[in-house]
Structure 1
């Protein structure tokens, strides 16, 4: 059965990036709808205990979208960043104050950010919400793309002028539009938990690389840290089976004593690390954002920040349309969006993938090159400034809301 209503914009996915896009489209005058599979009480996928390091640009945007005030716990500021690699000499130490900023960004729980976005989405004027609903089929079209959804055992077909896929790494909509995605398995599993150490968080974030993967401590409110530990895939089962005391000792051995003795660890979750990168972002009346466009190695905490900038750039391109030609799916709009995303996306992908591969490479020559690179980054002002700008989310053409411009 055909739905008589044709939406201007149909967003597939109610995760962090899809919901942020809906918020950014509030007040646009468009007929916007969103499809999400999960029940409202459970939250969309991604609303979990992961710790998200939000770049300063992301905090600017989420504040402008009226999301940050809805967080149960405010972001814990990252004022200093310390980067090193086990077995290499040299390190990078960045202090936000040295660059004229109070912080580089802040750390939040994905679950709490998801709840804040849910609360804000609930106030979006005129939003059509299909939830819970399962996407059964996507039919591309240069006229009106169609999406079949199933709700309570009944099938409904939705049509739209612009279809936005925010439906994750294994995007059904991306596959339907025959957009290829290249994959790379890093051979690592990321363990995430909270922990308490002798030294309370003071705004410092540490990331230490190794052949097995990165280890990081992120400051959190409440006197604890967000802890991230990359483990070689062949060792993941053994690490997963460890008790809390054994894992605390393991993390201590991997990370060192910068925060003192680790006293207690919380519940751990494990995430295999596989990059999935779409070859292009658009097709006729179709655009990819967030993990559907690119799923990154979490090194350097780039993933959600990049996806949020996808959403903001798209909303900005739509807002800039001539009202007399305000079809959101026009080819010129999507071409502009892809052009505006190109530099930021390419530079961020190269940074994330290059850093993940280079820091895991055990070759002696790489040891020398990494050590020289760390020493240079730590001592050459211009290089440090570029690294700091990237950490704050200022790469390429930065969306206005991410720059701190009002709506």
Structure 2
């Protein structure tokens, strides 16, 4: 931790990042790797057991995401804990259609990787410790913002006192209920899906063979992600009104419930890990930017966890912003908060952001809608994805995180 002594004013910082979760930390690392000095304000102390986003979820990292993490030096600290996803199977309970995506068919060694969020958090912390141009304030919190002609003046509360920090570019990476977003006056559309997500590990009777499953049902999607030691990460969605009853189940009752929701494709489930409930809602900022300020990750958009797009989308936010700030700096423009940089960021992120939001919301509405008349159409659509190469290729490419104009860091390296 690099924490300057308290004072009434501590000069200017080129980039001030508020929020030290998965996306904020990734942005700080990417800027440091590009030679850009920044200050990172982290609400929790720099320990994986205190950072709320470094929790027990199992993240499905798209191929593009792993490329990006590798490019900024994070993946070397996480790869030994990751499990490759070589196949994806998509189906709906009680309907005949299904779609399959195979890595070999698309000429790659893996479509993505599964990694516990806590392991990614640990890797980010190790990589943050290697940064040489980064100032970290932790634990610390933003308490006030004041606009200035050339940026923002931020009041940062730390255990040693309150600091006043000026910045040319303010970045809100502080999550779904972003304080930065509210202080900037950026409105957000919210949608309560009235669903609760349960995550835990589970051990199936049969080997997963590096296959991930997404199974839709009237009550919401169920996903099974391959993990090490034959385990799987279970992601199970239930109507919100059932959440208390599911929380109250003992292990045997929960396994029976999960088995009923997923089916017997991998045999009998056993050994459930500790489960954690999360209320599901979508939050979409109406603008990604304000004068000399920008939103990334969940502060910009929180999407339904169907398809596991949240962190993958947020990392592409962070890497795109770092790329544009670095390009501006290397062109001789020392001011990262100029309007051109922010306009380019919003333009670059729009197709990926809008497409991902539409996909996640549309899947929930269409694939989980309890209307029997839709069943044949859904099945035919899945069969088309499975058997029409252009559709399958497009779905695979988007699933691997290559949508719109991705940041250069996520592109496949040349041989």
TM-score normalized by the length of structure 2: 0.95
Task: Decide which of 294, 299, 303 is 1:296's aligned counterpart.
Answer: 303
Which residue of the partner structure matches residue 30 of structure 1?
Answer: 36
2: CA distance, partners of 1:280 / 1:405 = 32
> What CA distance in whole angstroms lies between the structure 1 residues aligned with 2:126 and 2:347?
32
Equivalent residues of 2:101, 2:392 under 8 A apart: yes
Between the aligned partners of 1:180 and 1:125, the Cα distance in structure 2 is 36
1:339 aligns with 2:323: no
Structure 2 distance, partners of 1:282, 1:369, is: 40
The answer on 1:385 being equivalent to 2:393 is yes
Name 2:82's counterpart in structure 1. 75
Q: Deviations over 1:7-54 (max 9, x none)?
A: 000000110000000111114343310101111233422101100000
Residue in structure 2 matched with residue 209 of structure 1 by the alignment: 216
Offset of 1:139 from its aligned partner?
Answer: 2.6
> Equivalent residue for 2:115?
108
Tell me, in whole angstroms, the C-alpha distance in 2 between the residues paired with 1:88 and 1:363: 12
Instruction: Check if 1:8 corresponds to 2:14.
Output: yes
User: Who is 2:190 aligned against?
Assistant: 183
Q: Which residue of 2 aligns with 1:351?
A: 359
One of 269, 276, 281 as aligned partner of 2:283: 276
Deviates more, 1:103-112 or 1:197-206: 197-206
Bigger mean CA deviation after superposition, 23-32 or 241-250: 23-32
| Residue pair 1:47, 1:114 contacting (<8 A) in 2 also | yes
Whether the aligned pair in 2 keeps the contact of 1:142 and 1:285 (CA below 8 Å) is no
**Could you tell me which residue of structure 2 aligns to residue 148 of structure 1?**
155
Counterpart selection for 1:200 from 196, 204, 207: 207
1:41-80 equivalence runs, <5 A: 41=47, 42-71=49-78, 73-80=80-87
CA distance in 2, matches of 1:140, 1:223: 53
2:407 pairs with 1:399:
yes
TM-superposition CA deviations, 1:35-88 (whole Å, max 9, x none): 011112334221011000000001111111111111274320000000001132
Could you list the structure 1 runs, at least 4 aligned residues long, displaced by more than 6 angstroms after superposition.
Answer: none
Structure 2 CA distance, aligned partners of 1:258 and 1:401? 37
Map 1:218-257 to 2 at 5 A.
218-257=225-264
Question: 1:286, CA displacement in angstroms?
Answer: 0.3
> SS of 1:26's equivalent?
helix
Superposed CA deviations along residues 202-230 of structure 1, whole A, max 9, x for unmatched, are 11001100111111110001220001100
Q: Distance in 2 between matches of 1:28 and 1:218?
A: 33
Cα distance per residue 1:280-312 (max 9 Å; x no partner): 100110000000001111100111000000000
CA distance in 1 between partners of 2:243 and 2:80 (Å): 31
Verify the 8 A CA contact 2:10 2:164 in the aligned structure 1.
Answer: no
In structure 2, list runs of 5 or more residues that go unmatched.
1-6
Q: Gapped runs of 5+ residues in structure 1?
A: none
Counterpart position of 2:46: 40
Distance 2:44 2:345 in 1: 29
What count of residue pairs does the alignment treat as equivalent?
406
Counterpart contact for 2:259–2:269, Cα < 8 Å: yes
Distance 1:78 1:35 in 2: 34
SS for the counterpart of 1:337 is: helix
Distance in 1 between residues matched to 2:236 and 2:119, nearest whole Å = 22
Shift of 1:4: 3.1
Structure 1 residues 405, 317: CA separation in 2 closer, same or farther (over 3 Å shift)? farther
RMSD of equivalent CA atoms: 1.4
- Match of 2:191, SS state, is strand
Corresponding position of 2:326: 319
Match of 1:18 in 2: 24
Calculate the TM-score normalised by the size of structure 1.
Answer: 0.97
**CA drift at 1:363:** 2.0
- Once residues 295 and 7 of structure 1 are traced to their aligned partners in structure 2, the CA distance between those partners, rounded to angstroms, is 28
Cα offset for 1:385? 0.7
Matching residue within 354, 367, 372 for 2:380: 372
Structure 2 CA distance, aligned partners of 1:405 and 1:399?
A: 13
* Partner SS for 1:145: strand
